[in-house]
Chain A
């Protein structure tokens, strides 16, 4: 075995161990440890991805001396490695962007706890991406949930405690249903390893035995993860959790935590139940309906919202709707479109949250949309970044959102019954997206005509005052344009990865 094949396991263990270490350190040192861990894990994922591309097939790595159905196991393929790399990049950018806000929002004695949570969150994301064992996935789902809750409530201002409570209740319900689903599956198949469950499920599908409990198990798993990733009717915790937590938390929660669960769901579809069985079942039709409803209702709620952070949060609900709609199409093209949407949304939503925080800073810490008037002139980088993010969300050509919508439309073309609904929903959702995002962009670029401004010009925030945040914003913009312009290799990577997944 080559040494590079050990790297996924080393990255999981390093980030896991860095969690407790940060508890002992002071805030500043913990910050550096955390940055070091994220960067080193990212570099490791890069090597893993290169190796996986060279290898052209997935390999398993057993955690211990015992082979798979007895011991634990992780599995490394192209899709897993590229997702892990991408998640690490987004995590790094989000952590760098929010340093000043974190120092202001969080009690100085509790700074290190933030990094404890982030390290363990990184570890759980890596484990969720790589694991090949469904119970192991559950253990790391638990870590992920508690870490995310900590990231919300550490701000201790405004409604964060309420938001964290809501988050906890909804997410524990989701975890509970997920665990129940695992119990059902174990009872029916006698295995916890994904590959073995898939074999058994295929046999059960042919014989038609235990049809009803199997369906219930799939529904429980899907609903549990749908609640945790904020699919439309279960989204009530989203606006508070994303709207009031500190900037890095909002970016991490919206772009990584929910995506980790969605990736796990894809894994369950492909590696536990089998894509053909899922595609022919009614479960995806239900997901399709909720996805479409989420696309529309999320946007309508966002239009009503006057607080910019909460508006972006509601937009997340709409985007999660897109992803589930892609699952609901039941075709490989739909899955590719959904995975691309995950990548696009993770890159764009964190960009929007960070840019919005820059605009809010330039407007005297007021999140209300009317007070953001002229903010694009006061903080130029944030203004440009927000505009890019908003255009990408709407689906402006050359940006990643455009490619994503094209992929969805192309996927819808292949299905017969769901084509019209998907296309109409895409069109309406695009218009709704444009309504609230363009409104915000126009507001931030509306010149202020007060006498003060006419005399002295805008009270600008200079680039050098917020160097780190501005650099990360530029990084996010570059990422977004790259995903849009060079979409072909990315889509190719996703297609290859999904083919390797099954």
Chain B
């Protein structure tokens, strides 16, 4: 049997407040937290308007996008051919894929002496417990050397496109994220303070143990880069600039790439000329083992972390 409660007592209970909140008749934050509606300042509006105008002007000056009949007709044909071509391509590729050797068969052409030697001799020849790392950093190190330079050149291309030069007055026009600093988001900062050290340490672990287990320079570098980005987001440029500026990136990545180049030059040269390499492989499973792989992993990790962080900074307004 339920008991009827008088309304003045009921109004003080949690369930009543919850019901009102559910109905939407009461906002729990009123009288509890100080709130202020967002206002857009006139300056900002003006700037927006101006920016819009400039953009239109620029587009008009640069690309004369005519609305002539020929262009319209072309656009229709273009859409049609696009769709037709894509359908054709998809169909062709699907048919081709269905004719490929079945996945996972033992008799497939891909299961040949190449893979066999990687698996059977990999540990003995490279000293790396992780065969994949042994493959990419020892057997096919030249490919990976190219790959790490791809990352580097991508950063250089982004620097060409977005690096701030002295004659551009981004700060005056407000195209700069630095005006929102110093940040003071307590939740984010507390979380970052707790999370960033483990993330970076874990990244370093993944880099350093790349030859012992899953991991390596590429994945570990990405983890470190993510940690740096989180740190930058939670705090501000002033804090990150104490230890990481454009100059740091340049010096770090160049010394890493140079180290990689030198180390591999030595092993390519001795390999091709059939000279015995003096680099010891160590005991498999030790942290200091597998010859050059550990050093190369560190180099790749540094390059990847720097690249990720630089990409993020460059794509923010304001730059380094």
A residues bordering B, Cβ < 8 Å? 1, 5-6, 9, 13, 16-17, 19-21, 23-24, 61-66, 69-72, 107, 109-110, 113, 116-117, 120, 123, 127, 133, 135-136, 139-140, 142-143, 146-147, 149-150, 153-154, 158-159, 161-162, 180, 184, 186-191, 200, 210, 212-213, 216
Considering the chains assembled together, what is the distance between the CA atoms of A181 and B113 in angstroms? Answer: 22
Considering the chains assembled together, what is the distance between the CA atoms of A323 and B149 in angstroms? Answer: 31
From B253, which residue of chain A is reached at the shortest CB distance? A20
Across the interface, B139 reaches (CB within 8 A) one of A66, A136, A149, namely A66
Residues of A near B140 (CB, < 8 A) are 71-72, 135
Q: Is the CB of A20 within 8 A of B165?
A: no
Residues of B near A9 (CB, < 8 A) are 268-269, 272
Q: How far is the CB of A268 from chain B (nearest CB, A)?
A: 18
Q: Is the CB of B261 within 8 A of A23?
A: no
Q: Is the CB of A191 within 8 A of B152?
A: no
Q: Is the CB of B157 within 8 A of A135?
A: no
Please classify how large the interface on chain B is, using the bins under 10, 10 to 19, 20 to 34, 35 or more. 35 or more
The 22 sampled A-B contact pairs (Cβ below 8 Å) are A1-B272, A1-B274, A13-B261, A16-B145, A24-B250, A61-B272, A63-B141, A64-B267, A69-B114, A70-B118, A70-B139, A71-B142, A107-B165, A113-B160, A117-B156, A117-B160, A136-B143, A146-B150, A146-B154, A187-B110, A190-B115, A213-B96
Residues of A near B165 (CB, < 8 A) are 107, 109-110
Q: Is the CB of B150 within 8 A of A159?
A: no
Residues of B near A187 (CB, < 8 A) are 100-101, 108-110
Residue-wise interface mask of B (61-77) relative to A, using a CB-CB cutoff of 8 A (1 in contact, 0 not)? 01100000000000000
From B96, which residue of chain A is reached at the shortest CB distance? A216
Across the interface, B142 reaches (CB within 8 A) one of A21, A64, A109, A184, namely A64
Q: Is the CB of B101 within 8 A of A113?
A: no
* B184, CB-defined interface residue at 8 Å: no
Across the interface, A13 reaches (CB within 8 A) one of B111, B147, B156, B265, namely B265
Across the interface, A116 reaches (CB within 8 A) one of B111, B112, B142, B156, namely B156
Residues of B near A150 (CB, < 8 A) are 153, 156-157, 160
From known contacts A139-B147, A142-B150, A150-B153, infer whether A188 and B100 are also in contact, taking CB-CB under 8 Å: yes
Most buried by A among B111, B257, B267: B257
Residues of B near A24 (CB, < 8 A) are 250-251, 254
Across the interface, A190 reaches (CB within 8 A) one of B110, B161, B163, namely B110
Across the interface, B146 reaches (CB within 8 A) one of A5, A61, A136, namely A136
Residues of B near A136 (CB, < 8 A) are 142-143, 146
From known contacts A65-B277, A70-B118, A200-B109, infer whether A20 and B143 are also in contact, taking CB-CB under 8 Å: no
From known contacts A110-B160, A159-B62, A216-B93, infer whether A71 and B139 are also in contact, taking CB-CB under 8 Å: yes
Residues of A near B139 (CB, < 8 A) are 64, 66, 70-71
* B92, CB-defined interface residue at 8 Å: yes
Considering the chains assembled together, what is the distance between the CA atoms of A430 and B60 in angstroms? Answer: 38
Residues of A near B115 (CB, < 8 A) are 190
Q: How far is the CB of B164 from chain A (nearest CB, A)?
A: 9
Most buried by A among B115, B153, B161: B153
Considering the chains assembled together, what is the distance between the CA atoms of A64 and B97 in angstroms? Answer: 34
Most buried by A among B125, B146, B150, B167: B146
Across the interface, B160 reaches (CB within 8 A) one of A64, A154, A180, namely A154
Considering the chains assembled together, what is the distance between the CA atoms of A178 and B66 in angstroms? Answer: 35
Residues of B near A189 (CB, < 8 A) are 109
* B258, CB-defined interface residue at 8 Å: yes
Most buried by B among A17, A19, A61, A64: A64
Q: Is the CB of B253 within 8 A of A143?
A: no
From known contacts A66-B271, A143-B153, A159-B62, infer whether A72 and B113 are also in contact, taking CB-CB under 8 Å: no
Q: Is the CB of B273 within 8 A of A190?
A: no
From known contacts A147-B153, A159-B63, infer whether A20 and B118 are also in contact, taking CB-CB under 8 Å: no
Q: How far is the CB of A15 from chain B (nearest CB, A)?
A: 11
From known contacts A13-B261, A19-B152, A61-B272, infer whether A190 and B250 are also in contact, taking CB-CB under 8 Å: no
From A23, which residue of chain B is reached at the shortest CB distance? B250
Considering the chains assembled together, what is the distance between the CA atoms of A133 and B167 in angstroms? Answer: 46
Residues of B near A23 (CB, < 8 A) are 156, 250, 254
Q: Is the CB of B100 within 8 A of A210?
A: yes
From known contacts A64-B271, A188-B101, A216-B92, infer whether A143 and B109 are also in contact, taking CB-CB under 8 Å: no
* B25, CB-defined interface residue at 8 Å: no
Considering the chains assembled together, what is the distance between the CA atoms of A19 and B109 in angstroms? Answer: 39
Q: Is the CB of A63 within 8 A of B268?
A: yes
Q: Is the CB of A16 within 8 A of B261?
A: yes
Residues of B near A110 (CB, < 8 A) are 159-160, 163, 165
Q: How far is the CB of B58 from chain A (nearest CB, A)?
A: 11
Residues of B near A16 (CB, < 8 A) are 145, 149, 261
* B38, CB-defined interface residue at 8 Å: no
From B63, which residue of chain A is reached at the shortest CB distance? A162
* B99, CB-defined interface residue at 8 Å: yes
From known contacts A64-B267, A143-B153, A213-B99, infer whether A21 and B254 are also in contact, taking CB-CB under 8 Å: yes
Residues of B near A162 (CB, < 8 A) are 62-63
Residue-wise interface mask of B (49-61) relative to A, using a CB-CB cutoff of 8 A (1 in contact, 0 not)? 0000000000000
Considering the chains assembled together, what is the distance between the CA atoms of A20 and B166 in angstroms? Answer: 23
Q: Is the CB of B142 within 8 A of A63?
A: yes
Residues of B near A109 (CB, < 8 A) are 163, 165-166
Most buried by B among A17, A65, A147: A65
Residues of A near B163 (CB, < 8 A) are 109-110
* B233, CB-defined interface residue at 8 Å: no
Considering the chains assembled together, what is the distance between the CA atoms of A146 and B158 in angstroms? Answer: 10
Residues of A near B109 (CB, < 8 A) are 187-190, 200
Across the interface, A62 reaches (CB within 8 A) one of B146, B154, B272, namely B272
Considering the chains assembled together, what is the distance between the CA atoms of A189 and B267 in angstroms? Answer: 29
Q: Is the CB of B114 within 8 A of A191?
A: yes
Considering the chains assembled together, what is the distance between the CA atoms of A201 and B138 in angstroms? Answer: 28
Q: How far is the CB of A26 from chain B (nearest CB, A)?
A: 12
Considering the chains assembled together, what is the distance between the CA atoms of A140 and B149 in angstroms? Answer: 9
Considering the chains assembled together, what is the distance between the CA atoms of A36 and B202 in angstroms? Answer: 43
Q: Is the CB of B153 within 8 A of A139?
A: no
* B283, CB-defined interface residue at 8 Å: no
Residues of B near A184 (CB, < 8 A) are 96, 100
Considering the chains assembled together, what is the distance between the CA atoms of A398 and B100 in angstroms? Answer: 53
* B316, CB-defined interface residue at 8 Å: no
Q: Is the CB of A210 within 8 A of B99?
A: yes
* B95, CB-defined interface residue at 8 Å: yes
Residues of A near B143 (CB, < 8 A) are 72, 133, 135-136, 139
* B245, CB-defined interface residue at 8 Å: no
